[in-house]
Structure 1
């Protein structure tokens, strides 16, 4: 038994899959490395087609019973999982910090409490889900949300447990069974979630967790004809492969694919606030899909904005994410750092200038990339058009509102946008014309689970949150009843 247990800062984590209510090993493993110092966190079971098929089969077998479980009972179990998350909040925070390098203080204060909130919110929302009946020539129309079936959820490494439960919670609340495939660079808290769910009393097979390399196990999951929903957060190239794999079964997809979001700073803005918003984009070492990495500043305010931004950014403390005083930790993996540095080096070679940063912090180690701001970049340049997913921002200027909007919308993406202005009328005009799933005005990263979340263009397909999550994870049914035939329920 102990050969399948790894200990992370005193927290025991099972490295096997969780399939059908039991732990299942694989013949092969992969090494999980900590971005803090490159140390091994354990040898993780490396699943493939066999494990994928077993997990989907377990989810299929458990689906009829879970779908028939009353909403109130499903909600009770989800709240019990939330209770379990809160009881193990410290363990989850410690393990995830070691696994993906994000700040321990953020995990303790915000991320893990949000994990518990995800379960409670969707448990409660499922109980209020409904639509008023309506009449058609004396006939009654009754709309219901029927569980769709086994759901495959493929999640990223930048906020592993929070983003996983953002999908797991509504899928379970809807009455679906789940196969969760966490990112191979940060798989450990998904394993702990399986333990928590089992301790809460979730029936065997309702939640399954399979680990492995995406290229080896992904297609086996997404092409399985018994899978009825696929939700994925990650890159555009991977999403294309998933969509092609799912096409044969016409399996519905929800895709959140990152972005290249703008921060528009008008001269009438509170420039201190605008600079704070810009510095906030370095959160999680820049590994945030919503990050406004393209700063667009009105020409007349550019010099003063840059001065204030540089002063604030220079005060950030980069270092060990376990230290309470650290503001920026490491990036997740050497391959990610190589990707980030490649973008920056090519931009500098093309004529960009690094106002701050411009390379790794070699004193801290190979995975700590210095917060970087580049100027002198063209709108068509790679650094402006492609997602870097690291602590790298660009700054461009504009002279008019129309130019600001044109620059903001001139990428293939459309996930989010942030606007800094002191003019409410301008805010209304500009936000109405921006292509984005979420727009923040004089704020950033204020998220409410009642609101729709998703992107336009290459930033994704579909919306999740509130009713939108249940619309995706359910099959919508309209029952039309003739007069005098009684009323349907559910």
Structure 2
């Protein structure tokens, strides 16, 4: 098979990136475009051998990178961000071809965020500090020491943005990285390797390996030389990774999605509430933070539903390369089968489709809203990860909070209310890592991000990221005892 493919005019190397060089694998896997099902290319399919080589390269490069000054590490991260911005259009179109998300979103939001991820953690590194403090005359000094090689396993719904969200703080901290992108959307990770090399990142500091979790992922997460593992994805896969890492007590950061509520109270601005609710169809519903459970106070439920249907049915679904498109395809045939399975089982159990409830041509799934669903129904309790919302009603605040918290997850929550007192009361009771009041998806990298319950382990963002990717050290120095001065 050829070592390179061309996607939308962009040349992409399909081999592994290990130790600063391209490495072929004996086998490949097929990468499909969700837009039309066309074959984008055959991608190097790694296994235990590639995992060993990549971790070995990261281990060898670690002492030199860890000893590199903060200023120089930050400079190189900014140079990588420069490379991302120079190739922004190429990255945007390749990502759209590979995972089906809107090209306009990639151009205007996602790829600029990729560069921002790199710049933010470069700048945070330079400011990272903890004020010294005294204990009985002794000086305490806290420092963040690089931990070692890190394995970063990233999802397919926002491949490059979520990759750099992990890569940037790991590299800034002085660690070396083995990045394994999802096999359904591997292409921009390969381009990131090229951009990083061109920016002057030393060989072996960033390695990119491709393949299936059961073949290369298990070998990476069980490796005794790996000092950190960060994973974004499903709960079953996270359990497998945790079991694999347990033998070496390798620290984990896990972001595992959710089943987030969107609460609409009777005093809410209904137009705002509807806008926020329809926004949950973004990226064809493939957003971990999406408020897929609409919980609406009984007194405004009928009017809310009427306005929601009016707005949602005017969404344009089609080719994500078209600027007018609002909803593109789902990422893979298996994902569409999963989404439709959830919906059809819900309908068979008595759910009523207010809109949608069916597949369309190819990998396009109609935006769906289901009502007449029980709180213990599968469609209410389990993450669908598609353009499928449920609508339930509540009578008062207590019931709203009870319904909102009544799942195994706790990633995010959104509430719409005109009463600041109510907002304060309700948010204090919600089990969620992030709560939005009268807004959605407002994100700042200096804020902690993560989930409660099965939505994850740990927090990322700002100093929390460095706390994870580093070994924190406290050095206590006595006020006396020096025998040499100068």
Alpha-carbon distance between aligned partners in 2 of 1:137 and 1:440, rounded to the nearest angstrom = 44
Alpha-carbon distance between aligned partners in 1 of 2:461 and 2:138, rounded to the nearest angstrom = 32
The residue aligned with 1:112 is 111
Say if 2:433 is the partner of 1:433: no
The residue aligned with 1:200 is 199
Deviation of 1:485 after TM superposition, in Å, equals 5.7
SS, match of residue 142 in structure 1:
strand
The residue aligned with 1:71 is 70
Deviation of 1:319 after TM superposition, in Å, equals 0.1
2:469 to 466, 470, 473: 473
1:452 to 435, 448, 453: 448
Deviation of 1:147 after TM superposition, in Å, equals 0.2
Q: CA RMSD in A?
A: 0.7
Alpha-carbon distance between aligned partners in 2 of 1:301 and 1:217, rounded to the nearest angstrom = 51
Say if 2:380 is the partner of 1:384: yes
Alpha-carbon distance between aligned partners in 2 of 1:66 and 1:212, rounded to the nearest angstrom = 27
The residue aligned with 1:29 is 28
8 A Cα contact 2:17 2:23, kept in partner = yes
SS, match of residue 3 in structure 1:
coil
CA deviation map 1:333-368 (0-9, x unaligned):
00000000000000000000000000112xxx2200
Alpha-carbon distance between aligned partners in 1 of 2:188 and 2:343, rounded to the nearest angstrom = 32
Deviation of 1:168 after TM superposition, in Å, equals 0.1
CA deviation map 1:67-93 (0-9, x unaligned):
000000000000000000000000000
Alpha-carbon distance between aligned partners in 2 of 1:51 and 1:21, rounded to the nearest angstrom = 14
The residue aligned with 2:334 is 335
SS, match of residue 377 in structure 1:
coil
Correspondence 1:114-193 to 2 at 5 A:
114-193=113-192
The residue aligned with 1:48 is 47
SS, match of residue 251 in structure 1:
coil
SS, match of residue 78 in structure 2:
helix
The residue aligned with 2:92 is 93
Segments of structure 2 that go 5 or more residues without pairing to the other structure are none
Correspondence 1:204-283 to 2 at 5 A:
204-283=203-282
Alpha-carbon distance between aligned partners in 1 of 2:154 and 2:435, rounded to the nearest angstrom = 24
CA deviation map 1:366-412 (0-9, x unaligned):
20000000000000000000000000000000001000000000000
Alpha-carbon distance between aligned partners in 1 of 2:97 and 2:10, rounded to the nearest angstrom = 11
* TM-score normalised according to structure 2 size: 0.99
The residue aligned with 1:295 is 294
SS, match of residue 280 in structure 1:
helix
CA spacing shift, 1:6–1:426, aligned 2, 3 Å = same
Alpha-carbon distance between aligned partners in 1 of 2:362 and 2:326, rounded to the nearest angstrom = 18
Alpha-carbon distance between aligned partners in 2 of 1:483 and 1:441, rounded to the nearest angstrom = 50
Alpha-carbon distance between aligned partners in 1 of 2:151 and 2:85, rounded to the nearest angstrom = 25
Alpha-carbon distance between aligned partners in 1 of 2:87 and 2:288, rounded to the nearest angstrom = 27
8 A Cα contact 2:37 2:362, kept in partner = no
CA spacing shift, 1:293–1:246, aligned 2, 3 Å = same
Alpha-carbon distance between aligned partners in 2 of 1:302 and 1:137, rounded to the nearest angstrom = 62
CA spacing shift, 1:286–1:485, aligned 2, 3 Å = farther
Deviation of 1:183 after TM superposition, in Å, equals 0.1
The residue aligned with 1:422 is 418
CA spacing shift, 1:191–1:377, aligned 2, 3 Å = same
CA spacing shift, 1:117–1:485, aligned 2, 3 Å = farther
Alpha-carbon distance between aligned partners in 1 of 2:192 and 2:99, rounded to the nearest angstrom = 16
8 A Cα contact 2:273 2:416, kept in partner = yes
Structure 1 runs, 4 residues or longer, greater than 2 Å off: none
Segments of structure 1 that go 5 or more residues without pairing to the other structure are none
Number of positions where the alignment pairs a residue of Structure 1 with one of Structure 2: 482
The residue aligned with 2:359 is 360
CA spacing shift, 1:396–1:485, aligned 2, 3 Å = farther
Alpha-carbon distance between aligned partners in 2 of 1:273 and 1:239, rounded to the nearest angstrom = 36
Deviation of 1:3 after TM superposition, in Å, equals 1.5
Deviation of 1:214 after TM superposition, in Å, equals 1.1
